[in-house]
Chains A and B, each alone.
Chain A
Amino acid sequence: MLDTQKPPRKKWWTPPFDPRFPNQNQTRNCYQNFLDYQRCVKTMSRRGKNSEPCEYYFRVYTSLCPTSWVQHWNEQIKDGTFAGKI
């Protein structure tokens, strides 16, 4: 009983409104954040820096993109057949 009265440990976070994608079609929102994460990680690791700032893009695309899409894209990246520019 006491446990349910405790406040949650962190505040729930979900991707905020992105003014670049104000309309109903959020496909590009998901894809753009996925690309941004991949590019961020690639650039940070090339410069030998910590990729912690890239976590924002990771959280946004995980929240927005269907997991099947993400798995499909990750497989394509592994196979070298991903069509986006990373």
Chain B
Amino acid sequence: MAAPAQLGLQNAASPIMEELIAFHDHALMIIFLISSLVLYIISLMLTTKLTHTSTMNAQEIEMIWTILPAMILIMIALPSLRILYMTDEFNKPYLTLKAIGHQWYWSYEYSDYEDLAFDSYIMPTYFLEPGEFRLLEVDNRTTLPMEADIRVLISSQDVLHSWAVPSLGVKTDAIPGRLNQAMVASMRPGLYYGQCSEICGSNHSFMPIVLEFIYFQDFEVWASYLYI
């Protein structure tokens, strides 16, 4: 989850998110370089006593400030496309989870064996234990195994919602009548928080998502009770 007054991206818990953070740093550095160059040139322009009123053509500089931006754009596009195709790679999911948005809570279904379904409401502030996070905790967390590719199918029962978990690099719209697939994989155990990311009414800010990733063996023990 985000620390108070955090400005940057949350720590990555999945390989895709690590790639996105690296790309973000790369693109941001390019932006800083261009902005500081432009600011410097503006300051030079504003503080010179020299004048030049007879410019007819400037072939060389025109060539430079066309070719150089084109090369910079290619340097941004190539990593971006690489990550885009990486998110679409062929995957063999271990588990299928359905996340269905309602006004104003999420419901989860694990239907690979027995039908396990539960609702996940926000934990009201007056019920929080010390140390828990306001507006982020839920009553029933979504338990998943770590180091496994999980197929998440996201839909909605009423209006548009969006299922987002920033540490895993996932944000997928929940559209009524449509089943959107997202792949989720965590490299480590832990709690990952997210919030609904599409305006959906008065309690849009109060329907968080908490994923609880546990060790594979513990999950298999829990799951074995499902398919006895």
Mark B102-114 against chain A: 1 for CB-CB distance below 8 A, else 0.
0000000101110
Q: Is A16 located at the chain interface by the 8 A CB criterion?
A: yes
A81 contacts the other chain (Cβ, under 8 Å)?
no
Within 8 Å CB of B159, what residues of A? none
Known: A9-B227, A13-B112. A64 touches B96 (CB 8 A): yes
The answer to whether A53 has its CB under 8 Å from any CB of chain B is no
CA distance A4 to B109 in the complex (A): 24
Q: CB-defined interface of B87-118 with A at 8 Å, one 1/0 digit per residue?
A: 00011111110101000000001011101010
B227 touches A10 (CB 8 A): yes
Distance (whole angstroms) from the CB of A37 to the closest CB of chain B: 14
* Chain A, range 17-50, C-beta contacts under 8 Å to B: 17, 24-27, 29-30
Count, A-B residue pairs, CB within 8 A? 77
Which stretch of B52-60, B136-144, B149-157 is in the interface?
B149-157
Q: What does the 1/0 interface line of B213-228 toward A look like (CB < 8 Å)?
A: 0000110110110011
Interface string of B190-228 (1 = CB under 8 A from A): 000000000000000000000000000110110110011
Report A-chain residues with C-beta under 8 Å of the C-beta of B109: 66-67
What A residues does B224 contact at CB under 8 A? 8-9
With contact pairs A10-B227, A66-B100 given, residues A26 and B90 touching in the complex (Cβ less than 8 Å): no
Q: Say yes or no: A12 contacts B228, CB within 8 Å.
A: no
- Our pick among B90, B94, B112, B115 for the contact of A17 (Cβ within 8 Å) is B90
Docked-complex contact A12 and B91, CB < 8 angstroms: no
Partner of A26, one of B115, B180, B217, B223: B180
Of the residues A27, A59, A62, contact of B179 by C-beta under 8 Å: A27
Q: Least Cβ distance of B168 to chain A in Å?
A: 16
Selected contact of A27 from candidates B98, B178, B182, B217, CB within 8 Å: B178
Can you spell out 25 A-B residue pairs with CB atoms less than 8 angstroms apart? A4-B217, A4-B221, A7-B220, A8-B220, A8-B223, A12-B227, A13-B112, A14-B151, A15-B93, A16-B92, A16-B93, A17-B93, A24-B172, A25-B179, A25-B180, A27-B179, A59-B112, A64-B153, A64-B179, A66-B109, A66-B155, A66-B179, A67-B109, A67-B115, A68-B157
Closest 9 CB pairs between A and B? A8-B224, A26-B179, A27-B179, A14-B96, A26-B181, A63-B96, A8-B220, A14-B112, A62-B111
A residues contacting B by CB (< 8 A) are 3-4, 7-10, 12-17, 24-27, 29-30, 59, 62-68
